[in-house]
Structure 1
Amino acid sequence: MRAWLTVVMMVALAGCSVQVTGAPCEDDLQCPSAQRCTPEGHCVAGARSGEHLLESCRTAMETLARRANQCYGGPPDSYQRLVDTESVCASVVASVQTSRQSFLPEQFGACVRRLRDLPCGALTLEEFSQGNLLARCDALAPQVAEGGSCGGNMDCQDGWCDTSASCPGVCKRYVPAGSGCDGSVPCQPGSTCSLNVCRAYANLGESCAWGVRCAPEANAACVNNVCVVRKEAGACASADECAPGQACVKLESGATAPRECRPARGLDEPCTPGAFECGGLLYCEAASARCRPWRELGQTCFNPDGTAELALCLGSRCAFGAFGQLVCQQYVAPGEACLLDVDCGPLGSCHNKVCVATWCQ
């Protein structure tokens, strides 16, 4: 009898071991100590370490892409292409290797949870496409003081990386809230340059006139120059007015047709061309009447089907090509002429009409 109980206990303990090692997880905090959560979502033996830096960066970017999908729809892989995950993570690895950043593996579980729970208002297309949201990862700590050499903004303690003259660049201070600005130097986080002054983000009910942003945590839209709660339903003029997961859908044909907030359609779901029913980084393709990803290199863009459905480019920029058509083209290389930041892609910006790198490698 005692031997039988011993066998039962051994089987039970073996079962517990199987359930722990290889158990499903969403982050390291869900795994036992001395284990980590793999990108495939399973606990494995071996704590996270510096050897897992590149894998960790990719996981953080994937977490951001999934969060963007939850907030605005659209394929997560399209968001990763928009930000160029591989190049951003290559820059992070280079910064850690040169001690401009430090990687804190024990904080990576908290990093994933923070990114997974970001307010949708923080995931603006601009912030996402420039990779800025990765700075919210607790496991990556800046190590460069003002005046030091940097490869990107994430290297600088309480400042930003000026790469306009060279790469690597120099860490400089942000313009404080309430101080004068001209757009050439970033305002401190939580503020934006409006009428030549860095002004704090507006809360619900406050004015958002003249380019002041509504606070991301408020999940608000700027309507008639006031920050208001995004709608779950009801009349709208643009998708910004609708809650996460909603689209501002045109109810009938015609330029002045009424629109209302409705659940956004996902990838390959049926849609009405010109009704703006599709989620983020998607448009309603006229030929298939289904929601399809934004356009590829060499394809026409902006309004490819003549239905007014916005379709920009993935991994490229939408610019005038031959015969005056808007076509997806290669990003402008550092040192070459540009007009807008988007010309230089997610790894650069347009400074004095010349592209400069913002993620040095």
Structure 2
Amino acid sequence: MNKQTLFVTLTAAALMCGCQSSKVKISGRFIGSDAKNVYLENASPLKQALIDSAVLGNDGSYRFELKGVSATPSLYNVIYNGERIPLLIAGGDRVTVGSVGSVVRNYTVEGSAESELLRQFYQAFVTGAQRLDNIAAQFAKPDLTEEERKTLVEEYTAEYYRIRREQLRFIIENKASLAAVYALYQRLPGDRYLFNGDSDVVYFRTVAEALEKSYPDSPYLPSLLAEIARMDARNSLTSQISEAGYPDLELTDIYGKKIRLSSLTGKVVLLDFWSAELGSSNALNADLKEIYKKYEDAPVGFEVYQVAIDTSKPLWINAVQEQQLPWVSVSDLRGRGSSALGLYNVRKLPANFLIDKEGTIVARDIYGKSLEEKLDELTK
């Protein structure tokens, strides 16, 4: 999992800041592993670079000393046994970092308020992500009963949304901290957005406004404002596209390939929203497969761009393969948080939109005989 993502780029200005500099000491003990070395990493604008290393003493102790560190906190990682501990370090800090046993689950921080706040978010977030991985791994077990599969789906979904709620709660409650900036950029596996794509700008703007008061000279602030400007511009473009025709989508199929809805221009397209978790999905897809087959040789091509509103990748892939769905199957694995739902104002499932070869939406929520009659007209 990428623990820094875009947050890493926010350190660029910090490295050039002319603020007062001073020494930093980082020390502590790591107990419970055979690893003998500990490393210190600095997050630079373009990459993460190791800047120091130390051999643990017989009691597991280590020590780093840095010079010329800015008074404005910037991101460092202490790396032990292959795991990273993120720290927000400012000149003059005397920080103690250590753990007994699992590094991520058990590490403690003293001497840096921002680093301690970051620990509270980071440990909970990573631990939750590990729980999701463990639940997902259970889908690979042979001979799972339908009841066991349903239970796993419920557990995965509940944990996923719990993590997301806690992440957003942390950001709002600690909006004036640099730890909130770090939390803004963290994503669960398969997530592209913080919450709901277009609405993410609300959280970025909330943190930026708070930082203007708590860290008015922070180099992170202009970076956040630039990100907000990009989001506003993107949202404005999406709005223009919506008025001109249909909102375009670019989502990932079961093989990891990104497919644009607009790549099907020239064909009649059924944009279909469904969920593998819905008990009616098998029957609906079975009916749609019959219609799909009927028009496979029509003069004007017909295609289905089916968006799964799910959070469990194993469940989604399993449903696509078991039902042998022959069309374009995509998902962003964000469930009800999918930005596609907002773009098309979908409030309940199933839902669909029929788009003609010119790219005009000609029908919504059309099924069965009504869909066939409309396809007879559009595919001539």
Q: Which has the higher contact order (CA 8 A, sep 6+)?
A: 2
TM-score by length of 1: 0.23
Larger relative strand fraction: 2
Larger relative helix fraction: 2
TM-score by length of 2: 0.22
